[in-house]
Amino acid sequence: MKTSDFDYHLPPELIAQTPIEPRDASRLLVIDRRSGTLAHRRFADLLDYLRAGDLLVGNNSRVIPARLHGTKPTGGSVEIFLVRPTADRGPTAAWECLVGGKGLRPGVRVQVRHHGTTGDITGGDITATILAETESGSRIVAFDPPVEEWLWDAGEVPLPPYIHQPLADPERYQTVYSRIEGSVASSTAGLHFTPEMLVALRERGVRLAFITLHIGLDTFRPVQAEHIEEHRIHREWAELSSETARAINETKLAGGRVIAVGTTVVRTLESAAKIARGYRPCDEIPEGAFCGWQTVAAFTGETDLFIRPGHDFRAVDAMITNFHLPQSTLLMLVSAFAGKGLIDQAYAEAIRERYRFYSFGDAMLII
């Protein structure tokens, strides 16, 4: 398939600039894959579509304040955007970063600006040293002291480039169940949930479980290759615990549905299903994981699974997602799940009905 097949025109005024209040007041376009029908609801109506025995799986990754500002020895300003820690992921790990500023070659040191003890913005104390330049143009940067010691005092939580209004409350770019720091963008399908809604789901017999996938910037970049099969998919770090693997496998065995909250959860669960197909004897399964016939296996590590039309879904039965950028891998993923024709129809309908798009926009439920 051609990348251009996944293009569409969106009127700029439909790009949501601010989150709606309360979180569950957003609109919900319900897509029934069997009947091909579309229904216009509110996100709070999600409870009408989930039933006892279902398992709702969210991504508990938390967005970090990844945007830093600094000064070169010459006095010039620099912007450093943290993308991901290097492979060892330890507290002293260097980071892959995007940088803005001239002459940022290996060996250059930058003083990161931060809030001092008086609350004023100051320089010094935090040094960023450029170690190397990657093939893609990003930089490998070492920080002294380590990032974890000062990040929330120096960094800004980044918003996508299509959002031009400042966010009054940075917590509105976090899900209410975010716990583990590491993403540079939010798992936006989860932004619609409120604590009260999660309690109501539990009371109805819907179980809740969580994975962790730290979202990188490449998730949102348009595919550049002419044919999608030629695209080299990005890697993201993910973890599916033994506890969550057990909950998924037990739900499947009992005839319940696994509902993924967002494309990051879909990617993690389908990666875990791919791993599970390689397991045989129980002594090869991580301690505490479900032993026997299993849909998914617990894992920790990077995933490079590219889900596009033709993918055989094994773990996910339904999904909640926002509306995605044209020519993105995320749009290809939802097209794989619901069928490209039905997604094309749904997006055209959403534009006609003036739905709000992208990170702070409305949602879809695909069942």
What is the per-residue DSSP string for 228-249?
GGG-----EEEEE-HHHHHHHH
Q: For the chain, which domains are there?
A: 3-63+167-366 (3.40.1780.10), 67-154 (2.40.10.240)
In this predicted model, what pLDDT tens digit does every residue of 186-195 receive, in sequence order?
A: 999 999 999 9
pLDDT of 24 higher than 90: yes
- SS3 state at 71: strand
Percent of the chain scoring above 90 in pLDDT: 81
Report how far apart, in Å, the C-alpha atoms of 54 and of each of 58, 175, 179, 272 are.
13, 21, 23, 19
The pLDDT score that the predictor gives to residue 87 is 72
pLDDT at residue 204 in the model: 97
Mean pLDDT of 162-184: 95
**120 vs 117, 123, 127, 128, 153, CA distance in Å?**
7, 10, 18, 20, 11
**Among the residues of the chain, which ranges form H helices?**
151-154, 195-203, 242-253, 263-276, 329-338, 340-352
Q: Do 355 and 20 meet the contact criterion of CB atoms below 8 Å apart?
A: no
* pLDDT the model gives residue 135: 86
Distance CA 162, CA 58 (A): 25
Q: SS3 for 269-333, per residue? A: HHHHHHHHCCCCCHHHCCCCCCCCCCCCCCEEEEECCCCCCCCCCCCCCEEEEECCCCCEHHHHH
User: Residue 242 has what pLDDT?
Assistant: 95
Contacts of 114 (CB under 8 A, 6+ apart): 121, 122, 123, 125, 126, 150, 153, 154
Which segment of 28-32, 61-65, 148-152, 331-335 scores lowest on mean pLDDT? 148-152
CA 138-263-323 angle, to 5 degrees, is 95
CA 160 vs. chain centroid, Å, equals 12
CA distance 240 to 270: 11
At residue 139, the pLDDT reads 95
Q: What is the mean pLDDT of residues 96-105?
A: 92
- Better-predicted residue by pLDDT, 281 or 196: 196
Q: Give residue 281's pLDDT.
A: 42
pLDDT tens digits for 202-242?
999 999 999 999 998 776 677 889 999 999 888 899 999 99
User: Would you say residue 283 has pLDDT above 60?
Assistant: no
Region 96-104: mean pLDDT is 92
pLDDT tens for 108-148 read 999 999 875 444 555 558 999 999 999 888 999 999 999 98
Rounded distance between C-alpha atoms, residue 211 and residue 241, angstroms: 7
Task: Give the model confidence (pLDDT) of 244-256 as tens digits.
Answer: 999 999 999 999 9
Q: Residue 282 has what pLDDT?
A: 45
Name which residue leads in pLDDT, 76 or 233: 76
Using CA atoms, how far apart are residues 285 and 131, in angstroms rounded to an integer?
39
The H or E element spanning position 79 is: strand 77-85
The whole-chain average pLDDT of the chain stands at 91
Q: Is the pTM of this model over 0.85?
A: yes
